Amino acid sequence: MLNSNDTICALSTPNGVGAIALIRVSGAKSLAIVSACFSKNLSDKPSHTAHFGYFKGPDGTLIDEVLITVFESGKSFTGEEAAEIACHASPYIQQQIIQTLLSAGCRLAEPGEYTMRAFMNGKLDLSQAEAVADLIASQTKGAHDIALKQLRGGFSNELRDLREKLIHFASLVELELDFAEEDVEFADRNELKQLVADVLAYIKRLATSFELGNAIKNGVPVAIVGAPNTGKSTLLNQLLGEDRAIVSNIAGTTRDVIEETLNIEGILFRLIDTAGIREGAEEIEAMGIERSKEKIQQAQVVLCLADVSKENSLEEVTAWAEEIRATYHDKKIIIVANKVDINHRSPSAVEGPVIFLSAKEGVGIEDLKQQLVELVTGDFNISTDTIVSNARHYDALVRTAHSLEKAQYDLDNNITADFVAMDIRQAMYDLGTITGDISTDDLLGNIFSKFCIGK
């Protein structure tokens, strides 16, 4: 895969039948190879121009009428000389064109090889390359915005700034080592302490944002639990009500149970294990958290439903919520006090958020949605803050923070400069793996092999 001397080709549009398909060719011989199969010579055409003509098979037979766009070396997505062949989207034609290109000297591209070449040629850094895959996979505004921001390099630029500051200080600290006998300090220790503290705080906030980023990328699993006849089914329908149409509007969405996801302000909530609820089959047995254990384990947010028209229901549910909190430390809980249309109770001294609503009358549903979003976003602003959504980046950030904490300890305890330098170098290394300033073949192979062919 790392042999980037080959000229590669692949279908870049989705598989299947349609009006148009695009086959991408990239590499030093792109225009020579494509010209040999085309009714015109493309080698002398200016970059970014499109040419209509006939694509011919190895035996000269006509395969299709196509439009080929040519790209000069340095001006394409990969940074290499490239051509994009727009043909009719028939599987037969696509196959014939690709087979012709292969016999004319192309190699079939590996998954992600176009993006990898763009990275190798400095057109994208590694986190931008990863953003391409996230962008394609994004199903909601939230996921899309994070991926696009990352693709445009905002995140990378921030990291590069931090890394440069660290490099500057590391160099000064290392310079001291050369003059060790003279006991000078080129790097002001207070300034360095402040820098490390600042960078550490920044890195930690980025790492913290991963919980949100991951939730946005993969959806937030939500469980609705409550005793029989507290109105779980009615609440579910209210939540899904208007939103279902929007979700199913997105062509090609392939979730099996599309009606059970909820898109609020661009964040996808996945309402788990709602089959029973949807069918209106409220459990007959007395409700207990034991009964909903599995459901709660899978959830990130638990909606505990109380029926305020009944004596003690809210108190009971508050007790469950306490029990859930005590058992699972990572669950976010919203107590939902339903049926305010029958009996409006004033808020009792319940810990955590309580939403009073009437699922039946649709009152308070917006408050609940707002609460769901706030619970997930915390103090991050999706539109303006940098949100980490990639587990690899999170991992690198945690390791960076760990090295910086060691450097901080060294500085606080006047440990010798060589240890400080080593820890800062390690932090720089870990940070560099995110943007690919530091990379290994294994790492690259691992990242790009997850891409689809043609990207």
Interface contacts to its own copies, rule CB under 8 A: 11-22, 24, 48-52, 61-65, 69, 84, 86, 88-96, 114, 132, 135-141, 143-145, 148, 151-152, 249-253, 452, 454-455
Sequence-ordered list of residues with C-beta below 8 angstroms from that of 155, at least 6 positions apart, any chain = 127, 149, 386, 388
- Please report how close the Cβ of residue 252 comes to its own copies at its closest, in angstroms: 4
Residue from 152, 163, 162, 164 nearest 127 by CA? 152
Identify which of residues 266 and 436 has a Cβ nearer to its own copies in the complex: 266
Distance CA 405, CA 201 (A): 10
Identify which of residues 246 and 319 has a Cβ nearer to its own copies in the complex: 246
Distance CA 380, CA 382 (A): 6
- Please report how close the Cβ of residue 445 comes to its own copies at its closest, in angstroms: 19
- Please report how close the Cβ of residue 299 comes to its own copies at its closest, in angstroms: 25
Identify which of residues 46 and 440 has a Cβ nearer to its own copies in the complex: 46
Query: Phi and psi (nearest 5°) for 340?
Result: -65, -15
Q: In what order do the strands lie in the sheet with 267-271?
A: 261-264, 267-271, 220-226, 301-307, 332-338, 354-356
Q: SS3 for 302?
A: strand
Q: Is 14 exposed, middle or buried (0-12, 13-18, 19+ CB in 10 A)?
A: exposed
Torsion, Cα 318 324 325 327, to 10 degrees, reads 150
Identify which of residues 88 and 345 has a Cβ nearer to its own copies in the complex: 88
Distance CA 275, CA 258 (A): 12
Q: Interhelix angle for 113-120 vs 441-448, to 10°? A: 140
Identify which of residues 31 and 63 has a Cβ nearer to its own copies in the complex: 63
Burial 301-320 (b: 16+ CB within 10 A, else e): bbbbbbbbbeeebbebbbeb
Strands 354-356 and 8-11: unpaired
CB 23 within 8 Å of CB 136: no
Identify which of residues 78 and 433 has a Cβ nearer to its own copies in the complex: 78
Helices (H), 378-416: 391-412
DSSP line for 369-382:
HHHHHHHHHTT--T
Identify which of residues 148 and 172 has a Cβ nearer to its own copies in the complex: 148
- Please report how close the Cβ of residue 383 comes to its own copies at its closest, in angstroms: 8
- Please report how close the Cβ of residue 415 comes to its own copies at its closest, in angstroms: 46
- Please report how close the Cβ of residue 26 comes to its own copies at its closest, in angstroms: 12
- Please report how close the Cβ of residue 66 comes to its own copies at its closest, in angstroms: 12
Identify which of residues 73 and 90 has a Cβ nearer to its own copies in the complex: 90
Distance CA 389, CA 297 (A): 22
- Please report how close the Cβ of residue 35 comes to its own copies at its closest, in angstroms: 17
Distance CA 209, CA 217 (A): 12
Identify which of residues 152 and 450 has a Cβ nearer to its own copies in the complex: 152
- Please report how close the Cβ of residue 48 comes to its own copies at its closest, in angstroms: 4
Residue type, 370: Q
- Please report how close the Cβ of residue 355 comes to its own copies at its closest, in angstroms: 29
Identify which of residues 139 and 214 has a Cβ nearer to its own copies in the complex: 139
Structure tokens at 346: 């004033």
Helices (H), 284-364: 293-298, 313-327
Identify which of residues 339 and 455 has a Cβ nearer to its own copies in the complex: 455
- Please report how close the Cβ of residue 90 comes to its own copies at its closest, in angstroms: 5
CA 251 to chain centre: 20
